Structure 1
Amino acid sequence: MPPKSLVTTLRDRYLNTIRSVQPPSRWKVLVVDSFTKELLNSVLKMYDILQENVAQVDNIELSRAPQSTLEACYLLTPTSQNVDRIIRDLAPSEPGRQPTYAAGHIFFVDSLSDALVHKLTSSPAEPKLRQLIELYTNFWPIEAQSFSLKSPQSFLNLFQPVGGLYGPDPMEAMRAIEEELQFSTQAILNVCVTLNEFPLIRYYNPSHPPLGPLQPPKDAVKSQTAAANMYQGSARMARLCGSNNDSGIPGAGPEGPAVGEHFTKKLAFRVQAAIDQYVRDNEPKIESSRPRSVLFITDRSMDTVAPFLHEFSYQAMCNDLLPIQDGSRYHYTFYTSDGEREEKEAILSDEDNVWTGIRHLHIAEAIDKLTKDFKQHAGEQGAFADPNSSLNDMRDMLASLPHMQEMKEKLSLHLTMAQDCMNRFEKSKLPAQAMVEQNCATRLTPEGQKPKTLVEEMVPLLDDRSVSNMDKVRIIALYIMYCDGVPDEDRKRLFQHARLGRYEMEAVDNLVHLGTQVVKDPSSSGWDVFFKKGKRKQQPGENEFELSRYQPLVKLMVEDHFAGKLEQVTYPYVRDAPPETATGGLSLPVQTSALARVGLGGAASSANSSASAGGAGRTQPSSLRSAKPTWHQKARGGSNVGVERLENRQRVLLFVAGGMTYSEMRSAYQISERLGKDVYIGSSHTFTPESFVDVLKHFGKAGARDAASRGGGGGGASKLSKPLNDRSAIRTASLQHGAYPTGQGNGEHHTGYASPISPVDQSTYDRSNTRCKVQNTRRASPRI
């Protein structure tokens, strides 16, 4: 049974919020701003809202006619502008102006700063306030088990080198890191509160030095002093990063985002402090029947292989090969029941049952399922029973069917998309490219042997003018990572074979900023030396295709955790490791750490891995090849390990700072099915291979942020216009480039207030002096 959908959770949360407003007149007005309107539209239709006795929906940013007999349900972002607008609505200061609404039920999608709470509850509008509740719903549920912050610039903030002609200066870069820490902390808190989870936290702690602005400078003392002085005179930074740390958690206190520590560690400790503060303030009811959840905080540098690979699961392949915008909008040709050809934009979402049924299937399995669905809905007789019908034939036949218009459109859409993907697969060198990519990524051939002819297979592809430069960049990057760096002479030789442009070469070179070795000592030169390595191999697993053997490292990380094999040096807990029962200790049929086999298990696990990799006790895999096409499937293994009742299943939260891939999103569903856990994954945004290469091209150059916001599969959220001096709990438009935090919650009201992202006017504010004075705002808010 699948985990509870984040989309459904948010949908129910918003509907229950609207339903909680029960005015005497029955009818009410829903008041939103531009951003919360987008949040609502992501999970609700206007029809759903109007069904809840909503007479009309108003935008608080626009002039509105008074509705003095109706009460208003405000669903807003927590900004000082919106607080001022609420006060003007309910208690206008202009002589002779009537109140816009009879009363106000106030719901903010994120935590409201204490200063704004005080401003609102001590204003002339106070007698007309009926509820004042923080919802913690300020994030984007892009799928049932995936969420996004719609913040593609996060990748640059974390990894872009400091300095240079267009790069940020050190002070600006450190401010961006602090903003990123606050932003990500609040977003993760929102997700945890929404799910009513207060998890154990583990984070990725790599052996390489910190990256980006956090990289230790040559003059560490001078740089750290400058970073500390950066916050002097800032009440906002003093409150959040300096003066009020009583959490006892390193990294949450006065030092701020000091250089020399990994971002993942800083974020993990910040999240722990935020959760502790929330629990102290709100004392939420925690489900005792469900094992305590686990939150893993990683970043893009943990797995630099996954973003380059050609994936052949349906969703990942479509987003790689087809012009899909933001991972959800696709323009295609549709045939009506009259046989007329029309252009249409399709929305790929959880509302499309055909899409959800095949998006994580291999393209071969997806086509099989589409064919079966077509036969089921078209009938098994006449022309529809022809077993030799192509995807195009089936799509054309659908146009002649007189019934089931909605299903016809969905099947036609996905038959078109699948056919387009297969056309590109069959008419290009994609099979050969993908084999080289998989051999590099896994360090093994499909037969489980070292890839001894890798150069001979790769160089013709680099010389081939029919292979795009984008694909050549992907091949070279994967080969260099396979080799753990190549001599500079060999790197230049690869670039010459591929005839890459300057920016394309720099995309490969810039992998160094993600902790990848690109160039190594020339004494190691020579092609054959690279094949003598025996480390970092991914052994064949279950349910694989020859061109889909690589497993994202986040998947291996979670599997190792529940097998008790995840090494604590590389993946430490924020707090002491719990007993095995607290982590939901599940015995998996794994003899050694999967991550140790790919070089991320740390010393202890590496020892185990070395013992098994030496040949003793390790069974060499049999041939994975078959007589069927190169993407044909091996025999399946078991699944549904450790399945429990849905309401009692342990939850796992994965956060990948700096961008996730569609293969990692798919992994969340696969882990859920295999381990019987509820697994949710989120990130700043979603990378396609093209968008990943594109942003690497522009590191340290003009237009880098524009490149980051293009094609990121989840970027491009609307900006919120705010005054320059407005430091309310929303990310500033200047840094977000169309993105900002999102979160959710159990609707805790103001018996205590969680620390906001960016408090307003905090220099003289004392938390103990402000408490909500409106007694009827204490009414319990609806829970999901």
Structure 2
Amino acid sequence: ILNGVIRSVKKEGEWKVLIMDHPSMRIVSACCKMSDILAEGITIVEDINKRREPIPSLEAIYLLSPVEKSVQALIRDFRGSPTYSYKAAHVFFTDTCPELLFTELGKSRITKVIKTLKEIHLAFLPYESQVFSLDDPGAFQACYGPFGREERGRQLEQLAEQIATLCETLQEYPAVRYRRGHDDNCTLAHAVLAKLNAFKADNPSMGEGPDKARSQLLIVDRSWDLVTPVLHELTFQAMAYDLLGLEQDTYTYQTTGLSEAREKVALLDEDDELWVQLRHMHIADVSKYGSATAYSPLPAPLHGHPLLPQPQDPQPSSPLPGTGSPIGRVLGLGWGEGAARPGPFESHGPPHRTPQANIKDLSQILKKMPQYQKELNKYSTHLNLAEDCMRRFKGTVEKLCSVEQDLAMGSDVDGERLKDPMKVLVPVLLDSAVAPYDKARVILLYVLLKNGVSEENLTKLVQHANIPAQSGALRNLHLLGTHLTPGVSGPPCAPPTNPGIPTPWAHLGLFHLLPPQARCAPWNPYPLGTLLTPCSIGPAQNGQLRPETRERLESTYQLSRWTPALKDVMEDAVEDKLDKKMWPFVSDPAPAASSQAAVSARFGHWHKSRAPGEGRAGPRLLLFVLGGVAMSEMRSAYEVTRATDGKWEVLIGSTHILTPTRFLEDVAALDQASPQKE
């Protein structure tokens, strides 16, 4: 943006106006700060679709997406007389301009004042260092909704153009592969290859180099793994976005500790080093970080400050080391004195001050040491964020996580096959404290586990969960390939009199959904494990509606046993073990370099030290998910990159970024009329 657009037309001592439409504004906001732009001689930034005061003494830089609305607004700026809105125009399109719009430009009066006209091929958002978005949530409806092939074809063509611009920007000419079983994957893969070949013809050096020749682009549909986007994820970033409903990467909270409370807004992006270090950690492991790093985000003079508790050595008897850190206490390790019962985040050691006290401590330090306000504010932000996450977690979410993991894995924490899933499902549906969307999430997991249910049974589940507003998301599952298949059941069973059965069940008509051996057995409605107890997990008992996931022997938390299926794909791809029948190439793959040592994406080369200053050298694996990417899948890209010791860089992206609620809303809207695009 700065080099290819603004600086390319910059002249010393001259000021210019920068004019953008909404898509290009989103791209620039993801790449640059306003201060960076203003420092390059830009006097004002304007929206092309809003009324603007003419500045005929200045030249204008237009950064626009090549769509009818934006091009017509550009033409109108130079339609008046005797003077135009601006002295001259430097026009940059974020993508290839259609021939029809280019012709309209040529016929307009702008040709007299236009000094620059370029296509910069930047039709994507760099959401994070290893995550991209095409910023097109409507593509989910266009690709999975019951619409005509022509509309779907146009959507796939646009996505192919955007994906190709990403590869061109990265100077990658990857081998293209797709997941077999979904027609749109194949169509999109061939369309992307055609676009890449066109870019390659214009720029023969694109993708050159022995490492780049091994790069791959994998295209997969969202419908392949419906489990991952609905689970409650307990890593910091995903948990915050799910439970707190964060929008536009901003976190709003109330400050305390000084005079009256004030509202603060924090931006959660990669300029915040502490956020980058914490975002992919399990919420329980964040507490370990607090002590292990000795408050590295804080300046040296604050280390040892009496109001900041100091890091402690790990206590062997404690479920987590570092229980003395302020972050640790915020996460419930000593979650408040006088707690009624030990919880999954609580330490069994001596009581500590509550998170609220820690935030007050920080406020006192701010008052005495204002020169460290920036550092302490960021630290305080994440203390508040962790506290808010834990406040939402305590209660129904804590219980839901156990049920969700059992349904997702098809087995319990001991690896035993889940024989009676209704035993864990029905109590959730009857719990009035559970939010409607959360009930829909567990029903969806149950449907996937059972490989489909009959329409009659689905109706009963929705009725007894009392979630009519969310039923659309469940009934639209068939549009994602999850058919509601009629089940085989015996004759209706009279309600048993066994006192072990909760009495509310007697009139619900749900007994026929239970296996006969389970209809008269007592159970604990929420058979919870503890989040902090490590366990070894076995393979999931997967049906055809759920992707096969490999057995993982590494220790994990009982409420976080599920691993996104895409992580398996990433690991297999970088190890050159990905099934070529299930993931066929549409272009010939580069031969594997014989000199390359085998790389394990699962265990990595952590024992091999890297030379000082050595940069990342290796091919890229790009994954595109058609229909939204979950934050746990984003996290997996970073984990696999680290596990290969930098020999591969994994980038993942999609049409848009998902939260569980957003995903269910997208599915519910599938059978609605498709909105018209500009």
Could you state the TM-score of these two structures normalised by the residue count of structure 2? Answer: 0.76
Aligned pair in 2 of structure 1 residues 60, 515: CA closer, same or farther (>3 Å)? closer
Does residue 380 of structure 1 match 2:307?
no
User: What is the one-letter code of the residue matched to 2:426?
Assistant: V
User: What is the one-letter code of the residue matched to 2:379?
Assistant: L
Give the whole-Å Cα distance in 2 for the aligned partners of 1:457 and 1:370. 35
Does residue 555 of structure 1 match 2:576?
no
Aligned pair in 2 of structure 1 residues 583, 481: CA closer, same or farther (>3 Å)? farther
User: What is the one-letter code of the residue matched to 1:422?
Assistant: M
By how many angstroms is 1:198 displaced? 1.3
Aligned residue in 1 for 2:126: 141
Aligned residue in 1 for 2:201: 280
Aligned pair in 2 of structure 1 residues 178, 373: CA closer, same or farther (>3 Å)? same
State the secondary structure of the residue aligned to 1:382. coil
Cα distance per residue 1:219-246 (max 9 Å; x no partner): xxxxxxxxxxxxxxxxxxxxxxxxxxxx
Q: Do the aligned partners of 1:444 and 1:450 also contact (CA within 8 Å) in 2?
A: yes
Aligned residue in 1 for 2:261: 341
Cα distance per residue 1:49-94 (max 9 Å; x no partner): 12113344455554544444x544332333456556666767x673
Give the whole-Å Cα distance in 1 for the aligned partners of 2:550 and 2:10. 58
By how many angstroms is 1:658 displaced? 1.0
Aligned residue in 2 for 1:597: none
RMSD: 3.5
Q: Do the aligned partners of 2:231 and 2:404 also contact (CA within 8 Å) in 1?
A: yes
Give the whole-Å Cα distance in 2 for the aligned partners of 1:503 and 1:439. 26
Aligned pair in 2 of structure 1 residues 582, 44: CA closer, same or farther (>3 Å)? farther
Mapping for residues 80-229 of structure 1, pairs under 5 Å: 94=81, 97-98=82-83, 101-117=86-102, 120=105, 126=111, 128-160=113-145, 162=146, 170=147, 173-206=148-181
Match of 1:406 among 371, 374, 383: 374
Aligned pair in 2 of structure 1 residues 202, 638: CA closer, same or farther (>3 Å)? closer
By how many angstroms is 1:184 displaced? 0.8
Match of 2:485 among 507, 510, 519: 519
Aligned residue in 1 for 2:220: 298
User: What is the one-letter code of the residue matched to 1:735?
Assistant: K
Aligned residue in 2 for 1:41: 29
Cα distance per residue 1:475-515 (max 9 Å; x no partner): 2221221222245665455445x433334344333322212
Aligned residue in 2 for 1:539: 551
Give the whole-Å Cα distance in 2 for the aligned partners of 1:333 and 1:379. 26
State the secondary structure of the residue aligned to 1:449. coil
Does residue 446 of structure 1 match 2:413?
yes
State the secondary structure of the residue aligned to 2:558. coil
Give the whole-Å Cα distance in 2 for the aligned partners of 1:526 and 1:583. 57
Does residue 658 of structure 1 match 2:627?
yes
By how many angstroms is 1:313 displaced? 0.4
Does residue 354 of structure 1 match 2:274?
yes
Aligned residue in 1 for 2:239: 317
Aligned pair in 2 of structure 1 residues 558, 392: CA closer, same or farther (>3 Å)? same
Match of 2:677 among 735, 738, 741: 735
Q: Do the aligned partners of 2:227 and 2:445 also contact (CA within 8 Å) in 1?
A: yes
User: What is the one-letter code of the residue matched to 2:354?
Assistant: S
User: What is the one-letter code of the residue matched to 2:132?
Assistant: F
Aligned pair in 2 of structure 1 residues 286, 465: CA closer, same or farther (>3 Å)? closer
Give the whole-Å Cα distance in 2 for the aligned partners of 1:32 and 1:468. 41
Q: Do the aligned partners of 1:15 and 1:49 also contact (CA within 8 Å) in 2?
A: no
Q: Do the aligned partners of 1:507 and 1:694 also contact (CA within 8 Å) in 2?
A: yes
Give the whole-Å Cα distance in 1 for the aligned partners of 2:18 and 2:459. 61
Give the whole-Å Cα distance in 1 for the aligned partners of 2:105 and 2:114. 9
Does residue 693 of structure 1 match 2:664?
yes
Does residue 507 of structure 1 match 2:473?
yes
User: What is the one-letter code of the residue matched to 2:27?
Assistant: L
By how many angstroms is 1:124 displaced? 6.2
Q: Do the aligned partners of 1:290 and 1:647 also contact (CA within 8 Å) in 2?
A: no
Match of 1:573 among 585, 591, 605: 585
Could you state the TM-score of these two structures normalised by the residue count of structure 1? Answer: 0.66
State the secondary structure of the residue aligned to 1:518. coil
Aligned pair in 2 of structure 1 residues 666, 537: CA closer, same or farther (>3 Å)? closer
Give the whole-Å Cα distance in 2 for the aligned partners of 1:566 and 1:660. 20
Give the whole-Å Cα distance in 1 for the aligned partners of 2:565 and 2:654. 15
User: What is the one-letter code of the residue matched to 2:401?
Assistant: A
Aligned residue pair count: 577
Of the structure 1 ranges 472-481 and 124-133, higher mean CA displacement relative to structure 2 is found in 124-133
Match of 1:678 among 649, 655, 658: 649
Give the whole-Å Cα distance in 1 for the aligned partners of 2:609 and 2:175. 21
Q: Do the aligned partners of 2:60 and 2:89 also contact (CA within 8 Å) in 1?
A: yes
Q: Do the aligned partners of 1:334 and 1:413 also contact (CA within 8 Å) in 2?
A: no
Match of 2:389 among 399, 417, 421: 421
Q: Do the aligned partners of 2:125 and 2:132 also contact (CA within 8 Å) in 1?
A: yes
Aligned pair in 2 of structure 1 residues 56, 582: CA closer, same or farther (>3 Å)? farther
State the secondary structure of the residue aligned to 2:650. strand
Q: Do the aligned partners of 1:538 and 1:550 also contact (CA within 8 Å) in 2?
A: no
Give the whole-Å Cα distance in 2 for the aligned partners of 1:448 and 1:685. 34
Match of 1:263 among 175, 181, 184: 184
Q: Do the aligned partners of 1:72 and 1:102 also contact (CA within 8 Å) in 2?
A: yes
Cα distance per residue 1:385-417 (max 9 Å; x no partner): 373233222112111113321222222222112
Cα distance per residue 1:21-54 (max 9 Å; x no partner): 2436544443434543343233323321121133
Give the whole-Å Cα distance in 1 for the aligned partners of 2:567 and 2:74. 46
State the secondary structure of the residue aligned to 1:522. coil
Q: Do the aligned partners of 1:324 and 1:330 also contact (CA within 8 Å) in 2?
A: yes
Cα distance per residue 1:189-226 (max 9 Å; x no partner): 121111111111111112xxx5xxxxxxxxxxxxxxxx
Of the structure 1 ranges 115-124 and 301-310, higher mean CA displacement relative to structure 2 is found in 115-124
Cα distance per residue 1:732-755 (max 9 Å; x no partner): x8237xxxxxxxxxxxxxxxxxxx
State the secondary structure of the residue aligned to 1:74. strand
Mapping for residues 467-478 of structure 1, pairs under 5 Å: 467-478=434-445
Give the whole-Å Cα distance in 2 for the aligned partners of 1:534 and 1:43. 41
Q: Do the aligned partners of 1:72 and 1:101 also contact (CA within 8 Å) in 2?
A: yes
By how many angstroms is 1:282 displaced? 4.0
Does residue 14 of structure 1 match 2:26?
no
Aligned residue in 2 for 1:307: 229
Aligned residue in 2 for 1:628: none
Of the structure 1 ranges 440-449 and 661-670, higher mean CA displacement relative to structure 2 is found in 440-449
By how many angstroms is 1:574 displaced? 1.0
